[in-house]
């Protein structure tokens, strides 16, 4: 079974981590899964004014996912995080039509 499957209905947050492997900082499996989802699985809908938050929609179940980088003190904002937003929160935050 692929680790890049779309999120199950029970999943509401995917938090990536950077780990040290052979003396190098590398993405963990969750980082790679987030990257796959935002580039291959989800539909990008909007970016906030800061450019650091992006709203996606899962075409399979219709849920809204926000991509963020919560470790802003790290280079490039740190590892990625995907969090489910309700339709109402997505509308309010991203001014969906």
Q: What is the pTM of this model?
A: 0.86
Task: Please list the pLDDT of the chain residue by residue as tens digits (97 residues).
Answer: 355 588 999 999 999 888 878 888 878 889 999 999 999 999 999 999 888 899 999 999 999 999 999 876 666 668 999 999 999 999 999 998 7
Q: What is the 3-state secondary structure (H, E, C) of the chain?
A: CCCCCCCCCCCCEEECCEEEECCEEEECHHHHHHHHHHHHHCEEEEECCCCCCEEEECCCCCCEEEEECCCCCCHHHCCCEEEEECHHHHHHHHCCC
Read off the tokens for 24.
Answer: 């190098």
In the prediction, which pLDDT does 1 show? 37
In the prediction, which pLDDT does 55 show? 98
């Amino acid at each position: 079974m692929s680790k890049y499957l779309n999120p199950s209905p029970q999943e509401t947050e995917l938090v990536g981590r950077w780990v040290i492997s052979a003396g190098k900082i590398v993405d963990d499996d969750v980082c790679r899964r987030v990257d796959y989802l935002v580039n291959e699985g989800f539909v990008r809908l909007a970016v906030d004014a800061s450019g650091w938050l992006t709203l996606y929609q899962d075409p399979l179940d219709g849920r809204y996912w926000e991509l963020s980088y919560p470790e802003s003190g790290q280079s490039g904002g740190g590892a990625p995080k995907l969090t489910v937003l309700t339709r109402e929160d997505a509308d309010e935050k991203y001014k969906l039509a």
